[in-house]
Amino acid sequence: MRTVWTIAARELRSFLSSPIAWVVICLFLIIFGGFFWIFLTEFAASLPQAYQYMGNPAYEELLSELNLSGWVLRPLFGNTLVLFLLLVPALTMKLFSEEKKQGTYEFLLTSPISVAQLVAGKYIAALAMIVLLLLCSAVFPATLYLVGSPEAPVILSGYLGLLLVGAAFTAVGTFASSVTENQIIAAVLTFAALLSFWLVSWAAPSAGGWVAEVLNYVSFHVHFEDFTKGVVDTRHLVYFLSLIAFFLLLAGRAVEATRWKR
């Protein structure tokens, strides 16, 4: 494990010394904060009108949905997926591609480091950047306690869902970076793969039957939705963990294949 942490620490230092990483962090927090402000403003603007209908049975169900979780947190977490879709490829594109471009990849392949250690170390470093993004963004939901009483389980499960999605996206990006020496190509491959996982659920209604069930199961968006409601289902945990393991295994195979060619 010491070797894995050494690789991860080296890669993390490389991330933090790169202007791309800081641009990604700043963009994420600015856009995340913008979404938070928009949803919170809309919620505050709807309250005066809602008070006019309090006590009216016809609007009881509608008023029950007027809360911070439904109006602010759920749409905030949902839009964060779009940010991950755009930003994770930028974070992961350099994991292996930069090593190949700089000529240090051969050194890594001939060093006494196993493929599993190499892949795990680079993946952990990229995942640490995702964790950093989420920790910084947690300031915004925390401010809701100054103006109301948000549901803590919804916040915690929402962030757990974001962490799992970010971890799965990072695994896909790790694999994409392992198969090419061009960072732009790696980013495009990652984005295309993630977009495909997103869009498959759109085809489910027209497919019907067991095909629709398969398409819905493959889509990460379907599995993430319950987390925004405060529901943590083991089926969703298994899905994300399986997706992470699958793409890290593919990345390992890709690196192993390259080692044998050297």
- How is the chain classified by DSSP, letter by letter? -HHHHHHHHHHHHHHHTSHHHHHHHHHHHHHHHHHHHHHHHHHHHHHHHHHTTTT-GGGHHHHHT-SHIIIIIHHHHHHHHHHHHHHHHHHHTTTTHHHHHHT-HHHHHHSS--HHHHHHHHHHHHHHHHHHHHHHHTHHHHGGGGTS---HHHHHHHHHHHHHHHHHHHHHHHHHHHT-S-HHHHHHHHHHHHHHHHHHHHHHHHH-HHHHHHHHHH-HHHHHHGGGGT---HHHHHHHHHHHHHHHHHHHHHHHHHHHH-
Question: pLDDT tens across 88-133, in order?
Answer: 998 898 888 877 777 666 666 667 778 888 889 999 999 999 999 9
CB 251 within 8 A of CB 178: yes
Question: pLDDT tens across 98-110, in order?
Answer: 777 776 666 666 6
Mean pLDDT in residue range 208-224 = 78
pLDDT at 33: 92
Q: Report the Cα 21 to chain-centroid distance in Å.
A: 15
Reference 15, options 127, 175, 112, 141; nearest CA is 127
CB 248 within 8 A of CB 119: yes
pLDDT at 238: 93
pLDDT at 146: 80
What whole-number distance in Å separates Cα of residue 26 and Cα of residue 32?
10
At residue 81's C-alpha, the angle toward residues 80 and 82, to 5°, is 90
Q: Name which residue leads in pLDDT, 171 or 222.
A: 171
Q: What are the Cα distances from residue 208, in Å, to 199, 205, 214, 220?
A: 16, 6, 10, 19
Structure tokens at 141: 């939901």
Confidence of residue 207 (pLDDT cuts 50, 70, 90): low
pLDDT at 108: 66
Confidence of residue 160 (pLDDT cuts 50, 70, 90): very high
Structure tokens at 123: 């993946």
Rounded to two decimals, what is the model's pTM? 0.88
Question: pLDDT tens across 172-205, in order?
Answer: 999 999 888 888 999 999 999 998 888 877 766 6
Reference 42, options 67, 79, 77, 78; nearest CA is 67
Question: pLDDT tens across 43-76, in order?
Answer: 777 766 655 555 545 444 444 555 677 778 888 9
pLDDT at 262: 52
